[in-house]
């Protein structure tokens, strides 16, 4: 309740995603606006959160994909904010076809939100905050852009990846513990290296040990279809499990599904090391089975009703095969 009161009263408010890119984006935004309150939310919750906000002077939204189911309504309410305050919507997720880009919408699909946030507020920032942007880029597999490759040259690359790995592993290990994530904003906004933040090194170590358990479980239990490999109920990080499903299933695409009893559905993480856009396929196939999903071309997520999981997997695999054939024919 206290947190709700705090962020509702904030004159500068940052709404951001709770992964490493979102946390780094939020920290960079807070460096630019030290008085800002940083609040974590998600694509499905964003619209409801915006309806609660009044009297804000600066509204900064980072790394939150636009949910195509409420794209029109979201655009309407954001346009109203743009008339009353300084609005910055910073994102890199693929856009719904119906989305219209506005002057307050800062979007590049090739770069992570941390990079975009730094570039947008660069005049307000110390040059060293590029390092935090690099952490976010590494954590979101977006460290190959022109800007990030240039910035990395100013640092010892090995240390950058150590710090980014420490941060990302700890965040993944703590899952949805938002108080923990909130505790990272202040030190990161002051450019304190992750390995100096209390508990992070130990958490990263525990995460590495835990990841080894995931790897071995997937190695023994992965199942394959013609074009993808999948693992069900690894009872652990589904993003990590999806990566190892692709590896040990010897497929370009790996899928990890975890049952959520309260939702009576499976949450899925999909990771690709091929050329086909899994986000596009997922957005097409998931709704046919009462589910939803989306993300990036090579990394996406979905929620599928429990009774539809296996038929969804077969349908997704079929679409993936057709997309692979089209890709191959196009390259001939």
Q: Are residues 14 and 163 in the same domain?
A: yes
Per the domain annotation, does 206 fall within a domain? no
Per the domain annotation, does 172 fall within a domain? yes
* Ranges of the chain whose pLDDT falls below 50: 1
Q: Are residues 69 and 156 in the same domain?
A: yes
Whole-angstrom Cα distance, residue 48 to residue 7? 14
**CATH classification at residue 287:** 3.10.310.30
**CATH classification at residue 180:** 3.90.1640
Single pTM value for the model: 0.89
Query: pLDDT by residue (tens digit) across 205-241?
Result: 999 999 999 999 999 999 999 999 999 999 888 999 9
Whole-angstrom Cα distance, residue 306 to residue 286? 13
For 132, residues 6+ apart whose C-beta sits below 8 A from its C-beta are: 24, 27, 28, 31, 114, 118, 188, 189, 191
Q: Are residues 91 and 173 in the same domain?
A: yes
| pLDDT recorded at residue 2 | 54
Q: Are residues 89 and 5 in the same domain?
A: yes
Whole-angstrom Cα distance, residue 99 to residue 206? 41
Q: Are residues 222 and 188 in the same domain?
A: no
| pLDDT recorded at residue 6 | 65
Q: Are residues 73 and 165 in the same domain?
A: yes
Structure tokens at 70: 């409420």
State which of 143, 165, 198 marks the end of a domain.
Answer: 198
| pLDDT recorded at residue 329 | 65
Say if residues 195 and 170 touch (Cβ distance below 8 Å).
Answer: no
In this structure, are strands 58-62 and 12-16 parallel, antiparallel, or unpaired? parallel
State which of 145, 168, 198 marks the end of a domain.
Answer: 198
| pLDDT recorded at residue 66 | 86
| pLDDT recorded at residue 1 | 45
Q: Which domain holds residue 315?
A: 217-331
**Three-state DSSP class for residue 240:** helix
| pLDDT recorded at residue 163 | 98
**What domain count does the chain have?**
2
| pLDDT recorded at residue 131 | 98
Q: Are residues 168 and 297 in the same domain?
A: no
Per the domain annotation, does 207 fall within a domain? no
Whole-angstrom Cα distance, residue 134 to residue 315? 37
State which of 143, 167, 198 marks the end of a domain.
Answer: 198
Per the domain annotation, does 203 fall within a domain? no
């Amino acid at each position: 309740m206290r947190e709700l009161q705090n962020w509702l009263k904030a004159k500068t408010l940052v709404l951001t995603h709770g992964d490493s890119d979102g946390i780094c984006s939020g920290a960079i935004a807070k460096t630019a606006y030290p008085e800002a309150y940083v609040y974590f939310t998600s694509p499905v919750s964003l619209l409801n959160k915006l309806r609660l906000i009044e009297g804000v002077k600066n509204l900064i939204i980072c790394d939150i994909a636009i949910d195509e189911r409420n794209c029109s309504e979201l655009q309407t309410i954001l346009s109203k904010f743009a008339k009353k305050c300084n609005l910055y919507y910073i994102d890199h997720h693929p856009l719904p076809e119906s989305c219209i880009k506005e002057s307050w919408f800062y979007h590049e699909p090739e770069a992570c939100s941390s990079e975009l946030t730094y570039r947008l507020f660069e005049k307000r920032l110390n040059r060293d905050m590029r390092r935090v942007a690099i952490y976010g880029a590494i954590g979101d597999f977006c460290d190959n852009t022109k800007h990030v490759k240039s910035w990395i040259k100013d640092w010892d690359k090995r240390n950058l990846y150590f710090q980014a790995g420490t941060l990302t592993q700890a965040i993944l290990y703590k899952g949805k513990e938002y108080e923990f994530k909130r505790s990272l904003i202040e030190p990161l906004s002051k450019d304190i290296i992750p390995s100096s933040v209390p508990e992070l090194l130990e958490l990263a170590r525990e995460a590495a040990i835990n990841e080894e358990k995931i790897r071995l479980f997937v190695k023994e239990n992965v199942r394959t279809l013609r074009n993808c490999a999948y693992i069900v109920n690894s009872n652990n990080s589904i993003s990590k499990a999806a990566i190892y499903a692709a590896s040990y299933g010897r497929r370009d695409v790996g899928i990890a599904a975890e049952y959520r009893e309260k939702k009576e559905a499976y949450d899925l993480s999909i990771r690709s090391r091929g050329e086909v856009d899994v986000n596009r396929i997922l957005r097409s196939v998931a709704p046919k089975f009462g589910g939803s999903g989306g993300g990036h071309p090579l990394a996406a997520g979905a929620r599928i009703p429990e009774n539809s999981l296996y038929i969804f997997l077969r349908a997704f695999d079929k679409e993936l095969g057709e997309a692979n054939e089209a890709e191959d024919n196009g390259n001939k």
